Amino acid sequence: METFGRLLQGTEDVLQGYRLGEIEITDTEVLRSSKKKIHPILFFTGNSKDSVIGTVFRITSSELEQADDYEVSDYQRVEVYLQSGIYSQTYVSRKTP
C-alpha cells in the first residue's frame, strides 16, 4: 500500500535457477518504510534444481518506476522466464552469493 497506494493482485509462480537469500539494508528511507533491517534477495545460481516460489503482480509502467526508486543499489531489475511460461521483471542481487 505504501509503495503503490493500492493493494496488488497476484498469482503464484516459480523462478528456476535462483535461490533466496538475505541482505542487510542500510538505506534510511527503506528502513523507515519496511521497518526491517534484513530483506530477502534473489541470487542467480543457474542451477535448474534451485527454485524460488513467489508471487507475480500486474503493475503499470509507472508503478515499476516507483519500485525501481524504492530498491537500493544492492538490487538490480532483470527480466526472467517463469515456470508458467511468462516473462516477468524481478529484482535480484547485483553480487554473486
- Report residue 56 as a C-alpha cell: 507475480
Structural domain boundaries, residue 53: 10-93
Average pLDDT, the chain: 90
Query: What element of type H or E holds 40?
Result: strand 38-44
CB 72 within 8 A of CB 30: yes
Q: What is the pTM of this model?
A: 0.83
In this prediction, residue 97 carries a pLDDT of 67
Q: Is residue 1 part of a domain?
A: no
Residue 39 lies in a domain: yes
Residue 2 lies in a domain: no
38 belongs to a structural domain? yes
Please indicate, yes or no, if residue 3 is contained in any of the structural domains: no
Give the side-chain half-sphere CA count within 13 A for 62: 2
Q: What is the mean pLDDT of residues 17-29?
A: 88
Q: Is 10 helix (H, G, I), strand (E, B) or coil?
A: strand
Is residue 75 within 8 A of residue 22, CB to CB? The reply is no
Residue 4 lies in a domain: no
**Total domain count, the chain:** 1
Which pLDDT tens digit goes with each residue over 4-13?
A: 889 999 999 9
